[in-house]
């Protein structure tokens, strides 16, 4: 009678495989090689504020490092950021009170501030992509993005008629891309139809497709002196609690002829950026808005954060969420950081 010898058992000893993801974090070279998301100067669009006059550069108190420029100094700043590799600027005008009215009629003045600025930029720095805002709030006495009736109601279709005139006048000035930011229904389709009819078939539309009624816009309204004089913008900008509505708005803008769709704001809406990216084949832009900018600047001034690292991390999060393009007031700073890294 033989006994079984345990040592002759052919079963291999059981081992526990230890996963070691840290192997790929060991060196800076390895980390760069496996990095999933890259922030580039080519991703950036620089929002800029232009005002009337000459030889003036006024810092915006609630946006340290951002300025209102007269056209002569604006051209110098654009030339500098262009040399740094920033390929696009988005213009926002500071309109004097005497030129504002209830209908925003200055918005489509062929000799208006925006139109003159576009012509000057395209003549001086032809390679820079110029994007213009299409909305009435900088041009109206009441500060709303649309025409208001006697009961304080924002009128959709009459507003769209003015927005169309505004977009066509900007196209005539030589703009590369118009960006309707008003959130009126049907405005993308109406603008596309009018641009095509006037022969501006190559003027692109960057649609503010999912623009939320956000509390993050305060410093921007300081910059333009365009805060609404009554009420709020909740009847046309989106409820911050809604996701499905953003997908619907994006789909409508695409159907109407948008070339690029945008989510605004960005930091608190990374989930929306991701969902929009997953539901469209168009490029997706994110707007890193004034309140987001101001919070980083304020914390940095207090010495609470490493400003450069937080800027890069914040913008990278937008790319990671799915943004192809980022409108950011940090564009020049980021270009300098990347150039020196």
- Answer yes or no: is 233 within a domain: yes
- Answer yes or no: is 12 within a domain: no
- Answer yes or no: is 61 within a domain: yes
Number of domains, the chain: 1
Beta-carbon count within 10 A of 126 CB? 9
- Answer yes or no: is 10 within a domain: no
Structure tokens at 321: 């969420």
pLDDT of residue 7: 52
Q: Give alpha helix (H) positions in the chain.
A: 28-34, 71-83, 113-124, 156-173, 187-197, 218-224, 244-256, 270-278, 290-301, 307-321, 331-339
pLDDT of residue 72: 97
334: CATH: 3.20.20.70
- In this predicted model, what pLDDT tens digit does every residue of 151-167 receive, in sequence order? 889 999 999 999 999 99
Q: Give the chain's residues under pLDDT 50.
A: none
- List, by residue number, the catalytic residues: 211, 264
- Answer yes or no: is 135 within a domain: yes
Label the pairing between strands 154-155 and 204-211. Answer: unpaired
- Answer yes or no: is 29 within a domain: no
State which residues form the domain around 218.
38-339
| 183 vs 285: CA distance, rounded Å | 16
- Answer yes or no: is 17 within a domain: no
pLDDT of residue 13: 64
- In this predicted model, what pLDDT tens digit does every residue of 73-114 receive, in sequence order? 999 999 999 999 999 999 999 999 999 999 999 999 999 999
């Amino acid at each position: 009678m033989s006994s079984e010898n345990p040592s002759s058992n052919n079963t291999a000893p059981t081992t526990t495989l230890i996963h070691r993801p840290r192997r790929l974090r060991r060196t800076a070279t390895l980390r760069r090689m496996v990095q999933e998301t890259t922030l580039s100067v080519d991703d950036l669009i620089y929002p800029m504020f232009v005002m009337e006059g000459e030889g003036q550069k006024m810092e915006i108190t609630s946006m340290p490092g951002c300025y209102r420029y007269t056209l002569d100094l604006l051209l110098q700043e654009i030339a500098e950021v262009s040399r740094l590799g920033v390929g696009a600027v988005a213009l926002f005008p500071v309109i004097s009170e005497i030129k504002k009215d209830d209908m925003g009629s200055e918005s489509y003045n062929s000799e208006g501030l925006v139109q003159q600025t576009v012509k000057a930029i395209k003549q001086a720095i032809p390679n820079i992509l110029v994007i213009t805002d299409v909305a009435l709030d900088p041009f109206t006495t009441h500060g709303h993005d649309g025409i208001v009736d006697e009961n304080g109601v924002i009128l959709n279709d009459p507003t769209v008629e003015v927005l169309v005139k505004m977009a066509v006048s900007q196209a005539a000035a030589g703009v590369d891309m118009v960006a309707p930011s008003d959130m009126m229904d049907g405005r993308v389709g109406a603008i596309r139809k009018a641009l095509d009819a006037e022969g501006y078939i190559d003027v692109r539309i960057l649609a503010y497709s999912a623009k939320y009624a956000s509390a993050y816009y305060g410093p921007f309204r300081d910059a333009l002196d365009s805060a609404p004089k009554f009420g709020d913008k909740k009847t046309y900008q989106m409820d911050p609690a809604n996701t499905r509505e953003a997908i619907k708005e994006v789909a409508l803008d695409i159907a109407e002829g948008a070339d690029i769709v945008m989510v605004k704001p960005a930091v608190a809406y990374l989930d929306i950026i991701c969902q929009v990216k997953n539901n469209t084949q168009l490029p997706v832009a994110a707007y890193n808005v004034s309140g987001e900018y101001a919070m980083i600047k304020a914390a940095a001034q207090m010495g609470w954060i490493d400003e450069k690292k937080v800027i890069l991390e914040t913008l990278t999060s937008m790319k990671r969420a799915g943004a192809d393009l980022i409108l950011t007031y940090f564009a020049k700073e980021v270009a300098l950081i990347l150039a020196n890294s």
